[in-house]
Structure 1
Amino acid sequence: MRIAGALLATLLSLAAQAAPIPPASLDRSLWPEQLDSPALFDVASRAEILSFARVLHESELLDDAALAARLGLRQINLQKIRAVRAQMWQRLWLGYQQAQLSCEQDASFCYLLESMADLRTTAATFATDVGKFYTGWIEPSYQFHARYLDEQLRKAALLGQTSSEVERLSSRERNGDELNDRMFLLTFVGGPAPAGGSTDALTRYLRKQKLQATFFVLGTRLQQRRDAGPANALGQLYAGQCVGIQGWEYRSHAQWQGWQDSIRQAQAQVQADLPAQYVPLFRPPYGQRRADGEAFMASQQLQVSLWDIDAQDDGPLSAEASAQRVVTLMLLWRKGVIQLHDTLPKAQPALEWLLRSTAQSGIGWEGCHDYAQRQ
């Protein structure tokens, strides 16, 4: 029976990951202004918030069957979808209020919105009065947000069957929503790459830019790097950065009977090899973890660190398209945890494009140790 149950769980997990929606990206050159001041960041932010709100509003008009068909699923968890939508509306409303603070400097996309109900009403007719200056942006933005919303709602529809980063399962889980407005945390997963590879180049680049990131490592790959190099190589690799864990191997911890051993082993490895860089954060592969894991995490003094801005750099998007996706989501959510893959060569050029595009925008980068110490 145990074997049959495990096989069923595996099949359900595979079904949940089957036929993924192609990742969304938006060509930022379609936006007619550079993000070269805090006020212009707010203009673009207000526009993306209203564009996404329009798509979110339209999705609520679909009946269950139409929504399931749109998401490519036979069955959907409507209760979870409604909860995720409600969280999105709350973040949009709070974000728009922050973005309105600069309306005296530039009134573009400034509407007299005094409640979330006002936001919903304005979103419903948003595309009708954006002005000629922004007409080249409005439809591509609409298409981006429709696809991005489908990505998120598809994950919400599968909650209860497959956990993901769109839902926090306990009070020990964080996703970046606790950050201050305009603050972002860089995170990288899946590493380290072999010696001399993309992780080495990326950490050097971060130090040159005086930036910090949290690297969530796999125990097996860290062990391989340690055994293949001199004793101080890992400390030099991650100097100035933070290192959390993803477990011993890149495998879903939701149905894995050895998930606790995976976390313990990886944690002990990082604590021993990188005591100065270690932070007590666990990034679950695929965002999948157990709903009953809170007590274990507390016993290990760990917190689950999720993300809310995914570069999708491990798929078909180019480095620039991944960066453009990230910038659009930064404008939309105005704060959050960004996820990239340091084992992939696309990560560094994507980061370089991202930093160039936001250098004068007034955003800030959260210190990785500061984030780890947040309660």
Structure 2
Amino acid sequence: MSVTARQVKNKRTSDGGSTSRAGTVYDVFIRYKTAEGYKTYGKRGFLTKSEAIDHEAEMRTKLTNPGYEPIKAADAKQTVQEYLESWVEVHGKANLRPSTFSSYKSHIKNHIVPYIGNVPLKKVTPAMIDNMLKQLSEKGLSVSTCRYAQRILSVAFEAARKYRYIEGNPARDILTKFGKEAKTPDPYTVEQMQHLMALGSGNEWQMIFVLSGLYGLRRNEVLGLRWDNVDLKNRQFSITEQLPFKVPPKTTVITEMAPTKSQGRTLPITEVTLSFFQKQLSLQQKQKELSELSGQPYYDNRLVIAKANGAPMSAERVTNNFAQFLRHNDMPHIRFHDLRHSAATNMHELTGDFFTVGEILGHTLKGIGMSLGISTNMADVTARYVDVRLDRKRTVLEAYHNEMFPNEALRIAQKNLKAKDHEAR
């Protein structure tokens, strides 16, 4: 056990003085693993078991996580706002993705602090949190936003409980029941995607719709795809990086990309989509030439999707402009991310090959296994699907892309047939 009691003949006071009486003190002993092997840490003579447990919890975290800075111990005057702001900086930077970290900070600032921020940490009750959630709901915020605020508090207060800053976790004892969220928009059908592609033809949306709606790339994967990762000769491209979560306004040069959520994947460029890639490359070459002729700067970030001057597009602006684009063209409302869902749904409905669709999208193997209803056991899943070859991905993507552009697919097929006949002669 890490904390042990020990009897002493002369117990000391908190300031180090002698009590001249026998008593119990507590010692902390920790055995922890490092890259060099197992090491030990010990400290003796804590006056109370609570002090020893607090020290053991803090040191175990510090010893197993080099560079960790413990959250400042809460006192009776520390407020919820003070604790949350300290906790999110320590916890968030070490454990959360940049987008989640930013989301936590935003929700704490806007949906938690205005309601219970001034309450002393040790005096927060489930009733206070229930009342906060009620006010958020009455304000018109969605069920998911209210639930997310409760989740943040639950995680934060659980950390405070483990450090013995508070007795229990009030966010887990609330009475609020979250109702069902509004229905997620249905993904676009093939026919709706065809109409969307027609609306985007010849403008800045065309290539964006190809990558998001035909290949199912995530928004920042679309905006972070570079020509360095596109191989037109071998007709394939790789998703190994994405646009960073937060790019400062007016950024013109991207020096470093962010890693993708998945471990990277290679996708084939189908016969139907090849011309889109070629046209996009040709367009950007013309834009570069025009910039040079006019004496205007061109920022060659090698991005497949970029502004006319080569600078990266703003992810938030793409999302907002997409919503306006749909409204102006009387298209059913969907989120930008639903283009990815549309690609997944249409590929699956046309082929029934959920696993390959998952590989195209960059889903985890466990998620694919659960969706297939096979098993969450990795050995079982990998036994049936060891690898998905590029040819299989091409087959699934071609089934969808040919359905999207049947006339073009027919033209290409006839062209290839004539080429074969010519070779045979």
Q: TM-score, normalised by structure 1?
A: 0.26
Which structure has the greater CA radius of gyration?
A: 2
Q: TM-score, normalised by structure 2?
A: 0.24
